[in-house]
Structure 1
Amino acid sequence: MRRWFILATGLTAQATTSSFLYGLPFLIPALQTDHGLTLTKASLLISAPLLGLLGALIAWGAAADRFGERNVMAIGLALTGVLVLVSLALPGFVLFGVGLLLAGACSASVNAASGRVVLGWFSARERGLAMGIRQTAQPLGVGIAAATLPPIAAHFGFATAVALPAVLCLLSAVLVWFVVVDPPRPERTVSAAASPYTGPVGWTLVRLHTASAMLVVPQFVSATFAVTYLVSSRGWTPVAAGQLVAVVQLAGAAGRILAGVWSDRVASRMRPMRLIAVFALVTMVLWAVGDALDSWLAVAALVATLVVSVTDNGLAFTATAELAGPFWAGRALGVQNTGQNVTAMVAAPLFSTLIMAFGYPVALLVAAVFPAAGTVLTPVAGESAARVDAVEVEVRP
């Protein structure tokens, strides 16, 4: 029973930092109207936490490997909350942005450690389900931010709205400290503590990280441009488009859990991940074709892409930790997360340029190349070989 409380705490911690990292864009209108910032300056400011996150993921993963998940999560959450509150007291938006960058770097502690602690407490037969549940944290955090930050900013000001995620981070730090217990680890040996990237699973991990980065493209292209596409190309109102995307986010969160259960049932993370890559490829192509034909197929395919493209995240994280082993899981998850976030940051400006230059059908067909590459790169055979090696080690006298 304890492991489920730890899962719930890890989910809460991740949702809390997500409300900070991905919720600040909801405050761009307040920055423009209340503080006179241009859209470019406001966008740069709210991007600062994500830049900090990217620079610190691997380092926090290494800290979790060495010092344990509970300490890393609690300290990182506390520092995030304190730095955000301190940033609000600093003069000028440059110093405020620096404070947000440092807070984002501290929030990276939760990304690797919360996944690591969940995987440590659940057996291989339950890890897919557990990680699928944990991976719903981001849409939950974004939902919390979307529901709370704009009205708070409207009634009490920008600073009060930013303070809410900071306070939630501090409360989550206390919750982690009293609930989370580091999972038991096997005895550290020279071979177990060696880098998995130099061992027999090294190429499998590299292919897994690359395939995951490829599959981020349809996820972020669809999420970034869904509302804009429905309004500009299909004639929807912004409110109706936003409502559809919000509902689909819930379906995507459920899809992550179902994908995890699926991987537990078939005793493989990579086989479901490869099929999801195929589905993402198909839905992107259908979206492009539907738009070119000015058909209802475009909206149906967009909805399918929004759901399908997010379901592989938990599978990739689970497989990364399993392949890396208990002494390198944190660092491997940091590498995994870094690759995905870098790809996500590049995808939005790249495909906005393609859309403006060539239109949606061409841009979407280019985006479809990435899940096609993910289909080829997903290391199904490498995962199977690693599982066989693990069994041989367990039964070897």
Structure 2
Amino acid sequence: MTKAIVLGVSGMTGRAIARELVDAGWDVTGTGRDAAHFPAELGASGVDFVRSDRGDAADLDAVLAGGADLVVDCVAYTAAHAQLLVERAAGLGAIVALSSKAVYVDAQGRHSNSDDPPDFGGPVVETTATLEPDFSGEYQSRLGYGTNKVAMEQTLLAASCPVSILRPSRIHGPGSSRPREWFVVRRLRDGRTRLPLAHGGRTGNHPTAAVNLARLVRVCAERPATRVLNAADPGTPTAADIAQAIAAAAKLPLEIVGLDEGVPDAWGRSPWDTWPPFFLDMSAAAGIGYTPVGTYAETVAATVHELRALPPADSAAIDADPFFTGRFDYALDDAALAAASIPSAPPSSSR
């Protein structure tokens, strides 16, 4: 049986990857800093857990002492993290590491976390320019996240074994610590049936289902090579598409009201309101035999069901997350909806 080690197994992404691999017949060990966060269902499915700090060399030595056919690194953020694996690559069959679309930069120097959104003119391919690498390890900032991911990628690609770098976007799935779907689910729970969206609902920031990312990890593991691949859901789902998919999964009605250009900036905002849209091209992944588990609409149902079943205390905890501050100001929604219902004045005629 082939042996896989998932570094950072307890998070939403690590869980999905471990489940995909064990279902495919791999012998899977997952690591994390706290056994209390290891999902019981993973243990029941046959995934072993080892308490380990990803950034501690001695801990990593202990985890990798017996070698592995595959290491999946869900928690590599810096060049130093990557170097720890590079120095131990001789005993590994292949590495798959999760990077981010935040590495991409447009011709004007704009990126995923810049003040002004980037404009790539269409879905982004893997050969698109990236930010300059930052080897400082200071990744917990808007700029530092992407630049340190670039340094991580460059360092890891020098390993002696095959390395697949995956660049996901806006990962979603059950167990998320910050579920963007709550933006719609809470409105539905509160009886809201109309949702105003900026730019006619055509905005977009590509979602990546954890189960689709896990499937791509499995394909890379089964076809080891050194490569860089985007990782996102099929198609180019807009904010309107996403909101409708969430409502459909909840089996509740929702009318999308697309707002005209020029309305106040505060109107029609959503977690997917990037404009111009930021989508990823998935042709390269398809070229190595990857087939996604499903579309956003097909994969979001599990998250929606989880959110709708949350007890009040957990719902309140999500509301308290700074990410959701101001996102449930229904007065803004009502102002936008009222303005959208007023017909535009006909153009004046001249004689």
The TM-score with structure 2 as length reference comes to 0.27
Structure (1/2) with the larger strand percentage: 2
Question: Higher relative contact order at CA 8 Å, sep ≥6: structure 1 or structure 2?
Answer: 1
Structure (1/2) with the larger helix percentage: 1
The TM-score with structure 1 as length reference comes to 0.25
